[in-house]
Amino acid sequence: MKPMQEIETLAIEIAAAARTSFRALFENGEHYYYCTLHTTGEGHAPSISAWSWEALEMESTIAELIKWSYADSPYCCFGDENFDHVKQRFIERPFIADLENDEGNREFDLRLKAMELAMKMLDDEGMFAMNQLRESVCVLVEVMPPDEVNTEIALRLNRAESPVMQAWLAEAAK
């Protein structure tokens, strides 16, 4: 299979899992400003995380410290069971640590591109405008620990001039 076909196939599977998870999460009616699909620097299967203004308000004493933290969100790995098929697909792919540098980088890039395409698919469907205006949500694909590629992807998935994106760039971008 050609790399673009692999990316599209993987993106469709990631989008299906993320769609199910985000839809279930958004049923709570909260207003979200941060929705991410995050992975590790080793390219493991992704999970979702999100922050709503309502959830952040509950963290008033440390809100500014955790505002953009996928790991500190009460919704980190929400609906992770929906990603079981995606996890299996990632396990079936080449193990990045066993690959030569160039091959490992290509495999990691393929995975990130599939994640980005999945979030774009969901965005094009209107997923991130369910409880709020789309312009008020920062839609991300993030590598943890933070990497410069996070900012590159964020700028492709969001309007750079939107207030929420400007806030993310000032407060969280690497």
Give the tens place of pLDDT for each residue, 61-100.
Answer: 999 999 999 999 999 999 999 999 999 999 999 988 888 9
Range of the domain at 56: 3-171
φ, ψ dihedrals at 172, nearest 5°: -135, -25
pLDDT > 70: what percent of the chain?
99
Q: How many domains, the chain? A: 1
What pLDDT is recorded for position 86? Answer: 98
Q: What is the pLDDT of residues 116-161, one digit of tens each?
A: 999 999 999 999 999 999 999 999 999 999 999 999 999 999 999 9
What pLDDT is recorded for position 8? Answer: 97
Contacts of 126 (CB under 8 A, 6+ apart): 134
Q: 60 or 9: whose pLDDT is higher?
A: 9
What pLDDT is recorded for position 128? Answer: 98
What pLDDT is recorded for position 64? Answer: 93
What pLDDT is recorded for position 101? Answer: 87
Distance CA 2, CA 4 (A): 6
In the predicted structure, residue 38 carries a pLDDT above the cut 90? yes
Distance CA 157, CA 148 (A): 15
What pLDDT is recorded for position 49? Answer: 98
What pLDDT is recorded for position 112? Answer: 97
